[in-house]
Amino acid sequence: MSTPARVVDPTGVPGLDLVLGGGLARGALLMVIGSPGSGKTTLAVQMAFAAARAGRRAIILTALSESTNKLVAHLRTLRFFDEGLVGDAIQIISIQQFLEGGLGGAADALVATVRQARANLVVLDGYQGVRGIDGDAGGGAQASRQFLYDAGGRLNLLGVTLVVTHTGAASEREMVAEATTADAVLGLSATVSGTRQRRGVTVVKVRGAAPLTGRHALTFDEAGVAIFPRLETRVARALPETATAETLGQPPLVSVERAPFGLPELDALLSGGLTRDSRTLVVGRVGTGKTLLALHFALSGVRAGEPTLFVGFRENPQQLVQRADLFALGAELRAALAPGGGLTLLRFPPVELDPDILADTILDTIARVGARRLVVDSVAEIERAAMTGSDPGRLDDYLAALVEALRARGVTSFFTKELRQTVAVAIDFTEEPIAVFTENVLLLRQVAHRGRLRRVLAVLKMNLSAHDTSLREFTIESPLGIRVLTPIESDDGVLDDLATEGNARG
């Protein structure tokens, strides 16, 4: 006799299927355990409405902790709530009617109701209201555990998924027995660090699947619950790469294609532009032209017909356009940002950023728009988010994972980063974590020479290509924007002073 194929249903909660290792097996018992206010009820009910919208039927049982009227009033504030589904595809009832005779016959009554309603999914919200119904704490706990075991087992035979929410922590002793009964256990948390609250979810276990490990970011707003998988575990799931004769043959290790800036002298320094699918870091102090250079690179991609994603933090879209208006880039930027223009702008206010939400949003947008180029202005905000998160020591792993994810998507990436100190062209950037993971590093400097500020550019490294290592002056002027000077135009005195300074520091 063959074993029935395992059927997996989508949960309808953004990010949860990926975290669970592909969704939730039909007929499974899922326990959602967490502190008050961590999003347990919303997550479970969101699953019920998603199932109903997919043509399935659901029952939501409210335990003693919350009345049905109060639950419905709460749900009406959420966008996934659909009044038209309530009463037919979704029934919301109190579990009290099943407990009038104690827990002994509660499983029978519940299963009978499920059969009658032809339900595919049952949510029992507030399992803590069931525990202790029969007798003292010890006897009640045993009876409630037996109820959960009986109900879950019989619903499994019917192919009905049971989702149970409970207030507490999955590590608590009294929850261990119930957790062993469950096929999947989620631990939700809402912790306060300093003045900031952080929500997260951990997959304690999932039978028959390979979930993503660690703590994943969770948001809870009027749209419901959304989960943003931890970046490192997503990337680490990929198989190790093995070098073979085939992989070393075609395609070539070093791409011959280039992603130019559209700035003739700079592209010549780079032997035609940045190598495709590479990561480039542009560093410099305030006012050296990093954002303007980023705009040149983004708009050059649009001109070449390459969908481009520009991720910003400090400047909002209006400010970015105003900056471009100072040069002959304003009209082109407006056209590029129009629907179908080829440029997508993501702007995150640099306040309470979560690194996993950042990464998930960026990677999702790259996939959605088919981006070939990515500009991040500036990567310092991403680094700060990683260092001020729940694990300050994750920065190196996080940046390595981000670079791997971009490499896997074939995106030519351009990061800017502000340096607070004056640096020489001979500086060692091994102390900059993102520089370790990028193939190319460009340095922009401002130097005082003969009573004037002059700007100088240097290509510090290009791992995958030959390049010109000479220093070069550049100007920022209207209407051209950035213009890299030819060797003849560059002031030898400025370059000699800078080279001497670098040798002295070295």
Read off the pLDDT of residues 245-297 as tens digits, 9 standing for 90 and up.
555 555 554 456 899 999 999 999 999 999 999 999 999 998 899 999 999 99
What average pLDDT score do residues 394-422 get?
A: 91
pLDDT above 80: residue 208: yes
Q: What pLDDT is stored for residue 253 in this prediction?
A: 47
The confidence band for 103, taking pLDDT boundaries of 50, 70 and 90, is confident
The whole-angstrom separation of Cα 437 and Cα 355 is 17
Provide the pLDDT for residue 389.
74
Looking at residue 489, what is its pLDDT? 80
Buried-exposed string 177-216: b where 16+ CB fall within 10 A, e elsewhere: ebbebbbbbbbbbbeeeeeeebbbbbbbebeebebbebbb
Burial of 431 (0-12, 13-18, 19+ CB in 10 A): exposed
Residue 246, pLDDT score: 57
Say what the pLDDT of residue 101 is: 66
How high is the pLDDT of residue 108?
Answer: 87
Domain with CATH 3.40.50.300 in the chain: 8-230, 256-505
Give the number of other CB atoms < 10 A from CB of residue 329: 22
Structure-token pair, residue 218: 């969770």
pLDDT attached to residue 459: 92
pLDDT of the residue at 250:
55
Per-residue pLDDT at 170 = 65
Q: Which residues contact 376 (CB under 8 A, 6 or more apart)?
A: 311, 382, 413, 414, 415, 416
Tell me the C-alpha distance between 482 and 459, whole Å: 16
- How do residues 6-22 score in pLDDT, each as one tens digit? 789 999 999 999 999 99
Task: Give residue 471's pLDDT.
Answer: 86
104-124: string of b/e by CB count within 10 Å (b at 16+)?
Answer: eebbebbbebbeebebbbbbb
Looking at 3.90.600.10, 3.40.50.1000, 3.10.450.50, 3.40.50.300, the CATH number of the domain 8-230 comes to 3.40.50.300
pLDDT tier for residue 506 given thresholds of 50, 70 and 90: very low
**Given a cut of 90, is residue 504 above it in pLDDT?**
no
Q: Lowest-confidence range among 223-232, 444-453, 458-467?
A: 444-453
pLDDT at position 64 over 90: no
pLDDT of residue 239: 56
- Percent over 90 (pLDDT), the chain: 58
Residue 144 pLDDT: 78
pLDDT reported for residue 90: 95
Q: Where are the beta strands (DSSP E) in 214-359?
A: 215-221, 224-228, 258-259, 274-275, 279-284, 308-312, 343-347
Region 427-451: mean pLDDT is 78
Q: What's CA 469's distance to the chain center, in Å?
A: 37
Question: Is the per-residue pLDDT at 45 higher than 90?
Answer: yes
Average pLDDT over residues 31-47: 93
Q: Does the structure show a pLDDT above 60 at 376?
A: yes
Largest CA distance in the chain: 95
pLDDT tens profile 222-250? 999 999 999 999 998 765 655 555 555 55
What is the rounded average pLDDT of the residues 340-357?
94
**What pLDDT is stored for residue 127 in this prediction?**
84
At residue 1 the predicted structure's pLDDT band, cuts being 50, 70 and 90, is very low
What's the confidence (pLDDT) of residue 446?
Answer: 85
Alpha-carbon distance 42 to 249, whole Å? Answer: 52
Q: What is the mean pLDDT of the chain?
A: 86
DSSP secondary structure of 238-278: SPPP---HHHHHSS-SS---EE--S-HHHHHHTTTSEETT-
* pLDDT tens, position by position, 477-498: 888 899 999 888 877 666 655 5
pLDDT at site 167? 87
- Distance (Å, whole) CA 460 – CA 470: 10
**What pLDDT does 145 receive?**
81
Of 105-119, 343-357, 460-474, give the lowest mean pLDDT range: 460-474
pLDDT at 251: 54
CATH superfamily membership of 256-505:
P-loop containing nucleotide triphosphate hydrolases (3.40.50.300)
Is the pLDDT higher at 327 or at 429? 327
**CA nearest 56: which of 95, 7, 6, 106?**
7
